[in-house]
Homo-oligomer: A and B are copies of this chain.
Amino acid sequence: MVDATTTGNDVLSEASGRFVDGYLAYLLAQASSRISREFHREVEASGLSVTEWRVLASLSGSDGESIGTLAQLALTKQPTLSKVVQRMEADGLVERTGARRDRRQTLVRLTRKGRGLADSLCAHALRHQQAVLEPFGHDNAALLIGMLKDLIALHPPAAPLADGG
């Protein structure tokens, strides 16, 4: 098992080699990219783009999100997301309903078909996650996830959305 407490000497004051090899933002981006790449094959095998999968995942366990919220969750700009959602609506994966509370908003919800696909992919994703975290052991895995959540909580999104995003 990987023992995070004994990884290298002082990983912070990185004195040698490429700059990026000790740079947090790079490590996060690289880890994100590599961890996701494997699963994204499954996603594309389902006929979805990565962005479309992110939308499905973001809507899983929710009974509707606005375009703006989805853009933040899916890490894209709002115009991008408007167009992705339109494609997904044409494919019968989501439906767009004018929200009751605020008629400016477009509320996006999973259709039955979309929920089926989302559930299937999410289950797959969780199995993949388990495999990824297995070498770390339960405690270190929880530590990692906790710290990522802390990082996220400490850095609010660009346009402060109602709550804390």
Q: Enumerate chain A interface residues (CB-CB to B < 8 A).
A: 2, 4-5, 7-8, 10-12, 17-20, 22-39, 54, 57-58, 60-62, 73, 75, 118, 122, 125-126, 129, 132-133, 135-136, 138, 140-152, 154-158
Copies in the complex: 2
16 contacts between A and B (CB under 8 A): A2-B154, A4-B150, A5-B146, A11-B142, A11-B145, A11-B146, A12-B138, A20-B57, A20-B73, A25-B32, A27-B145, A27-B148, A29-B36, A30-B152, A31-B155, A144-B144
Could you say which residues of chain B place their CB within 8 Å of the CB of A37?
155, 158
CB distance B57 to A24 under 8 Å?
no
Assuming the contacts A129-B25, A152-B27, asked whether A122 and B19 have C-beta atoms less than 8 A apart, the reply is yes
B35 contacts A2, C-beta separation under 8 Å:
no
Cα distance, A58 to B7, chains bound together (Å): 23
CB distance from A57 to the nearest CB of B (A): 5
Q: What distance in Å separates the Cβ of A157 from its nearest Cβ neighbour in chain B?
A: 7
Q: Which residues of B contact A28 (CB under 8 A)?
A: 28, 31-32, 35-36, 148
Establish whether residues B7 and A141, one from each chain, have CB atoms under 8 Å apart when the complex forms.
no
User: Quick check: B141 and A12 within 8 Å, CB to CB?
Assistant: yes
A25-B125, A58-B20 known; A34-B155 Cβ under 8 A: yes
Give chain B residues whose Cβ lies under 8 Å from the Cβ of A20.
57-58, 60, 73
> A146 contacts which chain B residues (CB < 8 A)?
4-5, 7-8, 11
